[in-house]
């Protein structure tokens, strides 16, 4: 048999749920003494973009040197 939930029990459960949600939100989106997950991801993305840019620039320079070095052979 299913029991009935009183308004007080519902309010108590709602309060506990809201506390957990606020805790999750603080960890994900708020920098409160330590970096949030969102901030960490943004920094990782910036580092990856910088590395990709550097690799692309070096690759382009290397390709230009190869073309210049072997271009006279044709």
Predicted model pTM: 0.56
26-67 pLDDT tens trace: 777 776 677 788 888 999 999 999 999 999 999 999 999 998
**DSSP-assigned states of every residue in 7-62:** HHHHHHHHHHHHHHHHHHHHHHH--SSS--HHHHHHHHHHHHHHHHHHHHHHHHHH
């Amino acid at each position: 048999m299913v029991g009935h939930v009183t308004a007080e029990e519902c309010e108590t459960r709602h309060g506990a749920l809201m506390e957990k949600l606020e805790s999750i939100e603080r960890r994900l989106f708020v920098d409160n003494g330590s970096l949030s997950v969102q901030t960490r991801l943004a920094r990782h993305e910036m580092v990856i973009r910088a590395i990709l840019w550097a690799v692309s620039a070096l690759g382009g320079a290397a390709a230009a040197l190869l073309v210049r070095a072997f271009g006279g052979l044709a």
